[in-house]
Amino acid sequence: MSLSQLLTERAAAAVDVRRAARTSKASGGALLAVVVLLAALPYVVFSDITDTLVNFYVLVALASMWNLLAGFGGLVSVGQQAFVGIGAYSVIALADLGVQPYLAVPLAALTCVVFAVPTSWLAFRLRGDYFAVGTWVIAEVYRLLVVRVDALGGASGKGLAGLSGLDPALRGALTYWVALALTLATVGGCYLLLRGRVGLSLMAVRDEETAASAAGIDVTRAKRIVYLVSAAGTGAAGGVITISSLSVNPDAIFNVQWSAYMIFIVVIGGIGFVEGPLLGAVVFFALQQLLADYGSWYLVLLGAVGIAAARWLPGGLWGLVRDRTGLSLFPVGYYVRDPGHAR
């Protein structure tokens, strides 16, 4: 054996490279227990609590998709409301065709992917701030097109067909479970995507696009994948909003406030962390419930909190937790440890 080979083997034995730390594995078990508990809530709590949680799950899903797009793909969009609206109206249109509304939610996600393909060809011609503004303009174009379709209710919107015959308690429980499944699919989908080669490519493109391209990464392909996945998850969230509210209005569903909510949640929770949208949604939802009675001051206080987080917590709340404890619920990188150091 050569000296170089001997040194390489000793160096490999001196460190322990793992996908997850022990704390991550323990937290994974705790998360599974939480999911089981949340799934059982319709049996043990009143419907007003589960109805409130549906809104929370939608926010988590939307923020997770925006975090995947901007936090890992480097695509800062303020036009994701386009896919919220397309997903919502897809459920309306499919229900009118006789499709069961709950089954229409995943079909709405696929519809958004179809729309996202030509949208990406247009949006990807823009860079930086122009991309952000361009996505907002594209969302407005989609809203104006929907308003002109009389079959979708025009400017006044339209109600959802196909759920009037269901018992209200059963409908509430089904809506809750669909919303919970949406959250699990979006968070879990981000985690699985980022653990693979696509995730490594995305983070390389985000950090330095030119260097990533020089290293052989297909930058456009990586961006398009994350854009389509984000569109699908955002569209499914729009579908859940529709089955929860039983109607849709173009001005409300295509409102830029949806993108504002996503950005706020991710900035507060921690951009670039899978856990960030979860923690950020908890904080945002709590502030929303506590400050809703303060009128316009509610928005002022939310803005102040967002500015403070951006100024003093660049990694968000989860970045602070990660720095202090080393905890990672969804590890997408690698841990290099000394085998003699138990953790």
Instruction: Please answer whether residues 135 and 77 qualify as being in contact, where contact means their C-beta atoms are separated by less than 8 angstroms.
Output: yes
Rounded to whole angstroms, the Cα distance separating 81 from 71 reads 18
- In 199-289, the DSSP E strands lie at 247-248
Name the band, by pLDDT with cuts 50, 70 and 90, for residue 206: confident
The token pair that represents 228 in the structure block: 């389509």
> Considering the chain, what percentage of its residues have pLDDT values greater than 90?
57
Instruction: Please answer whether residues 94 and 163 qualify as being in contact, where contact means their C-beta atoms are separated by less than 8 angstroms.
Output: no
Q: Is the pLDDT of residue 253 over 90?
A: yes
Domain ranges of the chain: 42-255
DSSP per-residue string spanning 192-229:
HHHHSHHHHHHHHHHH-HHHHHHTT--HHHHHHHHHHH
CA nearest to 286, candidates 80, 52, 84, 64: 52
Q: What's the confidence (pLDDT) of residue 198?
A: 81
Which residue in the block uniquely carries the two structure tokens 């100024």? 311
SS3 17: strand
- The 10s digit of each residue's pLDDT in 60-107 is 999 999 999 999 888 999 999 999 999 999 999 999 999 999 999 999
